[in-house]
Amino acid sequence: MIIAANLKTNFTREETNLYIEEIEGFVSSKNLTQEVLVFPAMSSLDTNDTSIIVGAQNAYATKDGAFTGEIGLVHLDEFAIKTILIGHSERRHILGETQEELVKKFNYYKDLGFKIVYCVGEPLKKREAGKHEMMEYIASQYDGIDTEYENLIIAYEPVWAIGTGLTPTLEDIQEIHKALKEKSKAPLLYGGSVKVTNAKEVLSLSNVDGILVGSAALYTDHFCSMIEFAQELQRK
Ligand code: 13P
């Protein structure tokens, strides 16, 4: 399974390096074979000699150039980063990234062979508008995306569940994941208020191939427990 931590706008470089070291130490001491991904803040990227996959939360679709406030491929290359998160709801809804811009970014990093974690998910208004409208909205987030890309991972993260402590019911997650698996065979993660208390249940659902964790992942002991849960479930 894939267990991913989105550290968002938290941890300095020093804190991030300690975090990654601690997670790696745990994973190797327990011989855990799950795929573990960590997405640090941009300025906390570093050359991490680690078995943990370190990815960027964002980068512009460019090698370099005049895009104030953005980083490009050269900045990722500096740290041998080959993994990127695209389409996170905070970038779509707070930073205003459009589907068109995301597609451009997706294609740029796809052509470079990056592992892409592509996020989809509906805001509360769309969920309340009923299943049909909600699924149509999520479907529109697949527009222009190569759903057969071999290095693609999709994360379903309902916007209203992110950082709120609210989650869809397990039945809901299962049903939506089933529908999304019909759109793409890529590994499908669930994200949105995954905690150490509900991670096992979520990971047990069919068509859930892993989790993308925000706030709870800031606690190494919680995040490590989630990796261990995934390992236990796979042993069964
Ligand atoms: P929380 O786990 O804090 O809800 O955040 C989820 C998320 O946005 C992961 O990308």
User: Can you give the pLDDT at residue 236?
Assistant: 74
pLDDT tens digits for range 108-141: 999 999 999 999 999 999 999 999 999 999 999 9
Cβ of 5 below 6 Å from ligand 1: no
Q: Categorize the per-residue pLDDT at 235 as very low, low, confident or very high, splitting at 50, 70 and 90.
A: confident
pTM above 0.95, yes or no: yes
Provide the b/e sequence for 21-51 (b: ≥16 CB within 10 Å). Answer: eebbebbeeeebebbbbbbbbbebbbebebe
Closest CA to 48 of 65, 24, 84: 24
pLDDT tens digits for range 17-44: 999 999 999 999 999 999 999 999 999 9
Cα–Cα distance, 82 to 75 (Å, whole number):
11
Q: What is the DSSP letter of 197?
A: T
Cβ of 192 below 6 Å from ligand 1: yes
Mutate to test the pocket of ligand 1, among 90, 198, 215, 219 (most ligand atoms within 8 A of CB): 215
Cβ of 193 below 6 Å from ligand 1: yes
Catalytic residues: 88, 157
Which atom of ligand 1 is nearest to 85's Cα?
10
Cβ of 213 below 6 Å from ligand 1: yes
pLDDT tens digits for range 158-214: 999 999 999 999 999 999 999 999 999 999 999 999 999 999 999 999 999 999 999
Cβ of 157 below 6 Å from ligand 1: yes
Mean of pLDDT values over 214-218: 98
- Distance between alpha carbon 73 and the CA centroid of its chain, in Å? 19
Q: Categorize the per-residue pLDDT at 151 as very low, low, confident or very high, splitting at 50, 70 and 90.
A: very high
Q: Is pLDDT above 90 for 147?
A: yes
CA of 155 to the centre of ligand 1 (A): 11
User: Can you give the pLDDT at residue 182?
Assistant: 97
CA of 72 to the centre of ligand 1 (A): 24
CA of 65 to the centre of ligand 1 (A): 31
Cα–Cα distance, 201 to 74 (Å, whole number):
40
Q: At what angle do helices 131-140 and 170-183 cross, to 10 degrees?
A: 40
Which atom of ligand 1 is nearest to 193's Cα?
4
Q: Categorize the per-residue pLDDT at 230 as very low, low, confident or very high, splitting at 50, 70 and 90.
A: very high
Cα–Cα distance, 37 to 204 (Å, whole number):
19
User: Can you give the pLDDT at residue 146?
Assistant: 98
Instruction: Write the residue with the smallest CA distance to atom 7 of ligand 1.
Output: 214
CA of 215 to the centre of ligand 1 (A): 6
Cβ of 167 below 6 Å from ligand 1: no
Cα dihedral 73, 33, 14, 85 sign:
positive
Q: Categorize the per-residue pLDDT at 49 as very low, low, confident or very high, splitting at 50, 70 and 90.
A: very high
Cβ of 163 below 6 Å from ligand 1: yes
pLDDT tens digits for range 56-85: 999 999 999 999 999 999 999 999 999 999
